[in-house]
């Protein structure tokens, strides 16, 4: 009987610790992107295309820029050292950087899930 009580108490304490840890990580992530910057690496010539996933990503990032988010756009043939610094190998790539230039979120490719994730994240940025 005592073993069950101690086991139950241990499980409750572990669960409470996990909940506390997860909630503190969420608050920390929210603070990390308080002043976000976005780096978009894409074929910018596709921006006006209809029905193209890359164009949808470009439009989502530019909509965030129109709301005041700092955005830097680069083409895949750019000579910028940022492509090397952030190891950009896939086009399009969207990086959300914190105030210190560290990558907080990274989106690569143009599948439907990535397009939706970029759109949702760009709408959340302030």
Please give the average per-residue pLDDT across 9-13, as a whole number.
85
Please give the average per-residue pLDDT across 37-47, as a whole number.
90
pLDDT (0 to 100) of residue 26: 55
Q: How sure is the predictor about 111, in pLDDT bands with cuts at 50, 70 and 90?
A: very high
Cα–Cα dist 114/124, whole Å: 15
CATH of 34-124, one of 3.40.50.720, 1.10.3210.10, 3.90.740.10, 3.40.30.10: 3.40.30.10
pLDDT (0 to 100) of residue 12: 86
pLDDT (0 to 100) of residue 6: 81
pLDDT (0 to 100) of residue 126: 74
By CB neighbour count within 10 A (0-12 exposed, 13-18 middle, 19+ buried), where does 106 fall? middle
pLDDT (0 to 100) of residue 25: 60
Domain boundaries, the chain: 1-32, 34-124
pLDDT tens profile 19-31: 777 766 655 555 5
Query: What is the phi/psi pair of residue 122, to 5°?
Result: -65, -35
Please give the average per-residue pLDDT across 10-23, as a whole number.
80
Read off the pTM.
0.70
pLDDT value at 33 more than 60: no
């Amino acid at each position: 009987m005592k073993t069950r009580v101690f086991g139950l108490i241990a499980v409750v304490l572990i669960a409470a610790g996990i909940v506390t840890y997860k909630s503190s990580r969420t608050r920390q992530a929210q603070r990390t992107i308080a002043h976000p910057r976005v780096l978009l690496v894409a074929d910018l010539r596709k921006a006006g295309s209809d029905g193209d996933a890359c164009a949808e990503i470009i439009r989502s990032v530019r909509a965030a820029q129109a709301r005041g988010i700092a955005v830097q756009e680069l083409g895949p043939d750019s000579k910028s050292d940022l492509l090397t610094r952030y190891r950009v190998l896939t086009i399009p790539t969207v990086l959300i950087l914190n105030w210190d230039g560290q990558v907080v979120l990274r989106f690569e490719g143009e599948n439907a899930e990535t397009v939706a994730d970029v759109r949702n994240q760009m709408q959340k940025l302030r």
